[in-house]
Amino acid sequence: MLKMKALAILMILILYPGPCLAHKVILNAWIEDGELSAEVGFSDGSPASGAIVSVIDPITGAALFSVKADDQGIVEAALPPEVFAGDGGLLVVGNAGAGHRVERLLPAREVGGPRPDQAKGEMVGASVPEPSSSGVSVDTSALEGLVRQAVRSELAPLLREVRSRNDHGPRMQDIVGGIGYILGLAGLVMLVKGRQGRKKQ
């Protein structure tokens, strides 16, 4: 009778649905020149398409900004100036649904401020650029935007590859689950053999 109770307890522990075995969600986020850039994906390398990325004030908990990621799990959005009003940094939250949630705290030194053309009281574009000696005028802000976009598009596949390699291999949870499964099967074999032995007697 004692063996049956022990076996029943063992089987309950093995078959009990423990922590959710879902994908781990990964969030890479940064703010540069008043623009939020983020990539949300799963540990297996797949993007979290349609994930909601929110910017939250970590001190008050107030939601300041929210945007939906594209099909590749990428967000690029200009933030309104009021997002930069606090001085405690910003909390970026990625929510891919079904309990898949990840947070990243950006300290104040990484947040910076709004783009100069968004800052209150500043007039950008009032000065006329001086023509260069070659006669060709270059818009530096447009050039910076093109370079930034090119760098992002080149880095995106590398970030996905790093993210997919980051979480492979057996985890402690997998190892313990495997041992429990083996012990459960051994207990089941012992139960069957014990019953067969009683029938022969």
CB 74 within 8 A of CB 48: no
Query: What are the residue boundaries of the structural domains of the chain, listed by start?
Result: 24-113
Q: Give the tens place of pLDDT for each residue, 67-80.
A: 999 988 888 888 88
Taking 50 as the threshold, does the pLDDT of residue 20 lie above it?
A: no
- Comparing 66 with 173, the larger pLDDT belongs to 66
Mention every residue, 6+ apart, whose C-beta is less than 8 A from residue 97: 50, 51
**CA-CA distance, 40 to 53, in Å (whole number)?**
8
Q: Give the tens place of pLDDT for each residue, 87-135.
A: 778 889 998 888 788 888 888 777 766 655 555 444 444 454 555 555 5
Fold of the CATH domain 24-113: Immunoglobulin-like (2.60.40)
CB 73 within 8 A of CB 47: yes
Per-residue pLDDT band at 52 (split at 50, 70, 90): very high
**CA-CA distance, 50 to 73, in Å (whole number)?**
7
The residue type found at 200 is K
The token pair at 49 is 């398409």
Q: What is the pLDDT of residue 125?
A: 47
CB 18 within 8 A of CB 12: no
Q: What is the DSSP letter of 47?
A: B
SS3 72: coil
